[in-house]
Structure 1
Amino acid sequence: MKNIIRVSFWKAFSIASLFPALFCLPSCQNGTATRDSWSVYKGDATSSSYSSLNQITKENVATLEVAWVFEPNDAPDGARAVKYECNPIIIDGVMYLTSARHVVYALDAASGKIIWSFDPFDGKGGAIKRGVSYWQSGTERRIMFTAGNHLFALDATTGEQISDFGDNGKVNLNIENFSGEEAWVVPTSPGIIYNNLIILGSEVSESYGAAPGYIRAYDVRTGKLEWTFHTIPWPGEVGYDTWPPDAWKKVGGANNWGGMSLDEKRGIVYVPLGSPTYDYYGADRKGMNLFGNSLVALEAGTGKLVWHFQTTHHDLWDYDLPAPPNLITVTKDGRQIDAVAQTTKTGFLFVLNRETGEPIFPVEERPVPASNIPGEQAWPTQPFPTMPAPYAGQYLTEQDLADFSSDSQQQVLDAFRSFRYEGIYTPPDTSGTLLTPGSRGGSEWGGAAWDQQTGLLYLNANESPEIAKVSRGVAWKSPRDQSMYNVGRSFYNTYCASCHGANKQATDPSIPSLVDVGKRLSKDEILNRVKNGKGKMPAFGQVATGNEEEILSYLLEINRDKISQKSQNESDTGMVYLNLTAYGYFRDKEGRPAIKPPWGTLNAINLNTGEYAWRVPLGNIPELQQPGDPPTGIENYGGPVVTAGGLVFIAATGDQKIRAFDKETGDEVWTADLPGNGYASPAVYEANGKQHLAIAVTGNRDKPGGWMIVFSLP
């Protein structure tokens, strides 16, 4: 590898200057990219994460320095840091972004100076938000974004709410579920613009009682719902026969939370979908379960199904499709084919014909292990692409286990031998199952970057096996009680678990446990704390309003009875088993990964041939790196961008750095320190004649709001 150039963030920032620039109005049409813009989430409607700018090159990247830093300063006093994943858009010198608190800002892209801001929650927002969408018709320009369960429209010039859009500037996105009650949806990734429509996915609960993940299109001018695609099919619709007859009334999920891509010329939107609920147990949803875990191609103007391809049948592993596909063109057998490349958590890359959904490289249905859970029927086969080879490990042996010490090695070996494990697609089991890849394996929401010049797709990946154990769960006095509890649990996991712990048992002594909170506080006192905050706890009034019963149901476990193994009827499997240990890392007793490195990689795949051009570790944990070994790699979130200057830029890792790699060789040629982790995809744009590189950085206890940090050449 070449020598790596390191830049200290704080030193660079201390010498950087902030210069005001002239106020500019955006001028691109419906997100169509121009050379100096980054006008759509992930660069353009095709999700290329590619920039044609070439001012920053392999020869001068070492001189990059911090041009400006924007710190929103909109986190309430005592607020905790939340993961900041925004990929900003830049149009004619104006950067539009969301903060970690869901505040929308317009900044001068050359200096970081605020032009306007809009706070949908009056200082009470928080949780993941990855950016905004831009629409223009003539001189009318709008910023479209979601916050909580609402879609907003703002004047792009002034930041003022469009009063005649929806209900006084916003549209409620909640969906009536099978019981007639509202089930919340909270989109985390920006919608995509097609003509005068904004097409939206959503994040929903991952438990029983979740909302279905319908794909919906709204009129950008009026907020009117124009079409809906049912991801859990209704009677008479394609895919209905892959579910039990009443599934459309009660099963949730199969949602698009990572974003989508658009072929503007063909008028087709490509929508990657997640798993149906419950994530790890599907006895109540027997069948293949279309359109869960499917890449779905829809007519963008009508929502009509064009084609679909399911990447995991009857998902029991939380193998959501986590990111928008890249729209690509490959050369195969002497002819050019427009295609889509879909990344996955499994480490498979599915390359499909853009018009038909037919695989470019052969895909085989292969037998996989059966489930041992009473009532569960795992699908007997799963699709395996024959090329490219998987970019994440899918089978472990004892030789793959970490050996930090003899004690650690023996402990990991004993654990490994105790699990049920038959390779990828081993179903969760009551004895404990090792999932390889786990739900954090392979690709995450950042997706891949595509370079048409080289025919290479660049993607980062995790090696993160997990432990899952399915246990007897709970009985409910009514389906409504269960639904309310699960909505409350999803609220808790989104807004509360990072401080109070996954099981309500806080590990920080300064944060109270919420176990048996009903013995200390009344219902009114609990809701007052949630809505108005106290001490270090921020207020969640805006997002809690309308969910009061559900929050109390979860915190107080109302109408929830634990099932005794002796009393449970084995034949009654409908709502008995729940996965209580999902997302359990496979680690040794010191908390170190239980498998040998690399634990994170950056990959370049030639999609004309299906072969790898290169593969390198991404990130490093020096204290775990053995003498003479390559970097360890680190679990990573966020994606890469690739440029015409010959570089791949990526942060993503948990070591507080951003890096540049030679796109032809994979050599790491530059790295810079960040004040936090850059769990976001960078944006590349031009302002005042200079190429810039922007990355959102997650905050910390002292600076909970995070930063938008922008680099440029001197």
Structure 2
Amino acid sequence: MDEKTKIPAVCRVLVILLGILVSLFGLTLLVGGVRLLTLGGSAYFALMGAITLLAGVLLVLRRPLGALLFGGAFVATLVWSVVDAGLEFWPLVSRLVMPAVLAMLVALSWPVLRRSRGLPAGRGGYAVAALLLVGLLGTGAAAFQPRPVVAAAGTRPAVTPVAAGSEQRDWAHWGNTTAGTRFAALDQITLDNVDQLQVAWTARTGDVPESNGFGAEDQNTPLQIGDTLFLCTPHNRVIAVDADTGKQRWAFDPKATAPNWQRCRGLGYFDADLAPAPAPVAGVASPTAPALCRKRILMTSIDARLFALDAATGAPCPDFGSNGVVDLKQGMGEIKPGFFTITAAPLVAGELIVVGGRVADNIEVNEPSGVVRAFNVRTGALAWVWDLSRETPDVPLDPSVEYTRATPNVWTSMAYDAQLGLVYLPTGNTTPDQWAGQRTPQDDKYSSAVVALDVATGKERWVYQTVHHDLWDYDLPAQPTLTDVPDGKGGTLPALLQVTKAGQVFMLNRQTGQPIAAVQDIPAPQGKAQGERYSPTQRLSVGLPQIGAQTLTESDMWGATPIDQMLCRIQFKQFRYDGMFTPPGEDLALQWPGSLGGMNWGSASVDPTTGYLFVNDMRLGLWTKLIPRAQMTSGDGGVEMGAASQTGTPYGSLRDRFLSKLGIPCQKPPFGTMSAINLATRQLVWQVPVGTVQDTGPLGIRMHLPIPVGMPTLGGSLATQSGLLFFAGTQDFYLRAYDSRSGKEVWKARLPVGSQGTPITYVSPTTGRQYVVISAGGARQSPDRGDYVIAYALPSK
């Protein structure tokens, strides 16, 4: 009986095909591994590639030695993986799953290989294949299990019931309060009944933010005053809806336009009946209080206007500015289309409205001013300005006076402490971001800093800088969080918590600006760009946990398979990387965390009953490169990634996300987390991955699998006194609730599209029901868009 009779042709063909597959895998690893070796990287891939290639050739020749060789290489891979990555689940998945699949197929071919040599088939190959199959199935099941980065331990604080009469009445500011706490003293919805939440109503705004991530986005956090919710849309439509039904009461359309960056993150609110009457002025008759606009909604628009609307009707307030509108372009000089937009909610600080503005990034020098202005909330009259180039505030009454151009701006939301009379500004930096040789001493003093101003005058009280001479777009993106923290002596200190794109959490005394938690000055890497200067040191907040800011190593590189992991390792070794604050240069440099964060504009939330601060982050590195002006052929800037002109400097720039060929971040998961920090002990209580690949995946292809790998987050969280933490700013389409004491997910609801909004909660004064409301217009990287505002509540009694 000849060999062809003993072995079916299909078996011979399958073994040959398997050998070809193994050979190609080995050849890819060998070629890439040699490249990695020349860059000073790991020798594993080249060695594994050579052995696997030889094993594949032997399999094509149907030699049993090929299977033994590959089996030995797999065992060596298992050992290397544990040594290289430890026992972390996702790093081991990247290193072992694909080789295990191939090893299982090779084991199944063992009987055919033996019979090809005239040997008994035996059953050992089937046993090994079965063992590997069990391991793969177990790994697949484990991939769906939540896996905290830091598990909650020890005794958890008890839930404190809301005292009678201290329940929250309204959500009257973007962060609920001017302190930016995003905390609600409500406890109708609890850990015990949150699983009963259901959709109570859905409203549609009619403004669908169709964009690719750099145009229109729905990032709105509604306001709730009494029985009415106030919404704003990406094109600045303001809509009032019934708090119990979502039925529209009125709508106002300012016809706002901008070529890019259309979004409205929130509104302001002022109630003249709750505010003290303005102080009388000698010799001037007190004005008669108008019947209209006793309660008013304030909005800044993408085309740089400030509106005051009657909260009852939506009509512009005739006593404010020019028929309800103040032109924020006044005094700004030339503004090219898209160069000055306002997306953050205005800060209502007593009798004043304080506004900053977003200046286009990286297009050119001499862009519009980053001036901060305060207007009278009743009249719209300019009260004070803070021009960052001047030592003292300047009130330009002469229309010919223009604010200093190209100063650091305040594009995100500000905070206000009424008791101290201070407004807190988180500043950006003078554009462009990656070459700053033209910046003035005043620019360098105020960029990427928290600045405290006297609310009455605009005069500076203190300034604390988080990044010196910022070359990384590490501007402060988030509203400061104001809360009191233990002083270790039985009392408290007035604290300001500032999260940053660099993954830092600074705790400052909000009265003095001095650090409460330790800050360390570290030596900073130096660069060689023409005409640039570099700060010799940078600041790290070492007294509080740093979120996703560890120094990367080659072993931190990741991929869905060993091949794209190897390619990420090659990229990593090609970069110049000296840890955090690696400066841009004419070569490829790695920036980690990237300019998207770390933390971003969603800001933190805090539960004052437990002293827990809640911080969500994204973990996306960037690669950057400065392009000498003579070689710069394209790119305007003003967007987050790609080529940017930086006209007026010696360089243009190029930057993009540090991703694998499959479009997956190159470093190991999680790519986004939620963290709880105990502000008394200043320790991380828990940290969990946030988001799944349900609605995204490699190459942007949806995996439709709820694998909790942890995805980049964008939006804010909501803490309640009942021990819940709500969050929706993930890449999958869910609103989630977590146990705020442990980080355990206790409920989630499927949204029609993703969300970048911050949830709010309130109790209706009409029905007594507590609602949780979220705006859902689409996740940042998702093509699916909508115009939904959805309210959840417990079943009605």
**Matching residue of 1:527:** none
Work out the CA distance in 1 between the residues paired with 2:720 and 2:335.
49
Alignment match, 1:134 = 269
Structure 2 SS opposite 1:289: helix
CA distance in 1, matches of 2:209, 2:573: 48
Structure 1: gaps spanning 5 or more residues: 6-32, 239-247, 477-484, 505-553, 561-573
SS at match of 1:399: helix
Q: 1:47 aligns with which of 163, 168, 180?
A: 180
Structure 1 residue matching 2:685: 3-state secondary structure: strand
Q: How many residues align?
A: 589
- CA-CA distance at 1:196 after TM superposition: 1.8
Matches within 5 A, 1:440-589: 440-473=596-629, 490=638, 493=639, 575-579=649-653, 581-582=654-655, 584-589=656-661
Give how far 1:292 is off.
Answer: 0.7
CA, structure 1 residues 585+708, in 2 after alignment: closer, same or farther (shift >3 Å)? same
Aligned 8 A contact 2:306 2:325 in 1: yes
Give SS of 1:290's match. helix
Query: Per the alignment, in what secondary structure is the counterpart of residue 573 of structure 2?
Result: helix
Per the alignment, residue 654 of structure 1 pairs with 731
Asked if 1 retains the 8 angstrom alpha-carbon contact of 2:208 and 2:777, the reply is no
Closer/same/farther in 2, CA of residues 693 and 312 from structure 1, 3 Å limit? same
Matches within 5 A, 1:165-184: 165-174=320-329, 176=331
Equivalent residue number for residue 30 of structure 1: none
Q: Are the aligned partners of 2:270 and 2:296 in contact in 1 as well (CA < 8 Å)?
A: yes
The residue matched to 2:358 in structure 1 has which SS?
Answer: coil
2:354 to 183, 193, 199: 199
- Aligned pairs for 1:267-666 (under 5 A) are 267-285=421-439, 289-334=444-489, 335-473=491-629, 490=638, 493=639, 575-579=649-653, 581-582=654-655, 584-621=656-693, 631-666=708-743
| C-alpha contact (below 8 Å) 2:605/2:613 kept by paired residues | yes
Moved more, 308-317 or 410-419: 410-419
Cα distance change, pair 639–180 in 1 and its aligned pair in 2 (3 A): closer
- Residue of structure 2 in register with 1:209 after alignment: 366
User: Which residue of 1 is the match for residue 375 of structure 2?
Assistant: 218
Change beyond 3 A, Cα 1:654–1:441: same
Partner-residue secondary structure (3-state), 2:255: coil
Residue 707 of structure 1 corresponds to 788
Distance in 2 of aligned mates of 1:121 and 1:79: 22
Query: C-alpha distance in 2, partners of 1:426/1:4?
Result: 36
Q: Which has the higher contact order (CA 8 A, sep 6+)?
A: 1
Asked whether the equivalents of residues 286 and 377 of structure 1 are also in contact (C-alpha less than 8 Å), the reply is: no
Is the Cα–Cα contact under 8 Å of residues 82 and 699 in structure 1 kept in the other structure?
A: no
Question: Identity across aligned pairs (percent)?
Answer: 34
Contact 1:82 1:705 in 2 (8 A): no
**Letter aligned with residue 457 of structure 2:** T
Distance 1:702-1:323 versus aligned 2 partners, 3 A rule: closer
Q: What is the CA-CA distance between 1:662 and the residue it aligns to?
A: 0.4
> Contact 1:82–1:704 (CA<8 Å) still a contact in 2?
no
Higher strand share: 1
**CA offset digits 1:407-434 (Å, max 9, x no partner):** 2122111111111100000001111111
TM-score, normalised to structure 2, is 0.69
Partner amino acid, structure 2, of 1:694: V
User: Which 10-residue stretch deviates more, 283-292 or 105-114?
Assistant: 283-292
Distance change >3 Å, CA 671–CA 474, structure 1 → 2: farther
Q: Distance in 2 between matches of 1:123 and 1:275?
A: 25
CA distance 1:401–1:106, shift in 2 (3 Å): same
Equivalent-residue separation in structure 2 for 1:328 and 1:78 (angstroms): 37
- The alpha-carbon distance between structure 1 residues 153 and 249, as it changes in their structure 2 partners (threshold 3 A), is closer
> 2 CA distance for matches of 1:703 and 1:414?
34
- 1:185 Cα shift? 2.7
CA shift for structure 1 position 635: 0.6
Give the CA deviation at 1:658: 1.2
Distance 1:657 1:443 in 2: 20
Partner Cα separation in structure 1 for residue 145 and residue 203 of structure 2: 27
1:599-631 per-position Cα deviation (integer Å, ceiling 9, x unaligned):
0000000111211111111112266899x9982
Q: Which amino acid aligns with 1:105?
A: I
1:704–1:663 CA distance, 2 compared to 1 (3 A): closer
Whole-Å separation in 2 of the counterparts to 1:111 and 1:474: 60
**CA distance in structure 2 between the aligned counterparts of 1:654 and 1:74, rounded to whole angstroms:** 21
AA aligned opposite 1:303? G
Aligned twin of 2:196: 63
On the 8 A contact 1:461/1:600 being kept in 2, the answer is yes
Distance 1:256 1:681, change over 3 A: same
Higher helix share: 2
Contact 2:233 2:263 in 1 (8 A): no
Q: Assess, with a 3 A threshold, how the Cα gap between structure 1 residues 642 and 78 changes in structure 2: closer, same or farther.
A: closer
Give the Cα separation in 2 of the matches to 1:203 and 1:617. 31
Question: Cα offset for 1:704?
Answer: 4.9
Q: CA deviation at 1:36?
A: 2.9
For 1:695, what is the secondary structure of its paired residue?
A: strand
Q: Who is 1:669 aligned against?
A: 746
Query: Shift of the alpha carbon at 1:473?
Result: 3.1
Output the aligned Cα RMSD: 3.3
Q: Once structures 1 and 2 are overlaid, which stretch shifts more, 357-366 or 594-603?
A: 357-366
In structure 1, give the amino acid aligned to 2:346: G
2:384 to 227, 242, 251: 227
Query: What is the aligned partner in structure 1 of residue 276 from structure 2?
Result: none
Give yes or no for contact 2:209–2:216 (8 Å, CA) kept in 1: no
1:141 to partner: Cα distance: 1.1
SS of the residue aligned with 1:605?
A: strand
Tell me how far apart the structure 2 counterparts of residues 322 and 180 of structure 1 sit (CA, whole Å): 23
Distance 1:77 1:603, change over 3 A: closer
CA distance in 1, matches of 2:211, 2:448: 39
**What residue ranges of structure 2 are gaps of 5+ in the alignment?**
1-141, 147-165, 274-290, 394-402
Change over 3 Å in CA distance of 1:213–1:78 after alignment to 2: closer
The answer on whether the counterparts of 2:693 and 2:707 sit within 8 Å (CA) in structure 1 is no
- The Cα of 1:445 is off from its aligned counterpart by 0.6
Q: Which residue is equivalent to 2:18?
A: none
With over 3 angstroms needed to count, the CA separation of the structure-2 counterparts of 1:404 and 1:184, relative to structure 1, is closer
Preserved contact between residue 320 and residue 344 of structure 1 (Cα < 8 Å): yes
C-alpha separation between the residues in 1 aligned to 2:498 and 2:422?
15
Per the alignment, do residues 34 and 209 of structure 1 end up closer, same or farther by CA in structure 2, a change over 3 Å counting? farther
Instruction: Confirm or deny: 8 A CA contact 1:177 1:183 kept in the other structure.
Output: no
Give 1:87's aligned residue.
Answer: 221
Structure 1 CA distance for aligned equivalents of residues 210 and 622 of structure 2: 36
When normalised by structure 1's length, the TM-score is 0.77
2:731 is paired with a residue whose SS is coil
Q: Which residue of 1 aligns with 2:87?
A: none
Alignment-mate amino acid for residue 257 of structure 1: W
Counterpart CA distance in 2 for 1:613 and 1:79 is 37
Aligned equivalents of 1:410, 1:180: Cα separation in 2 = 47
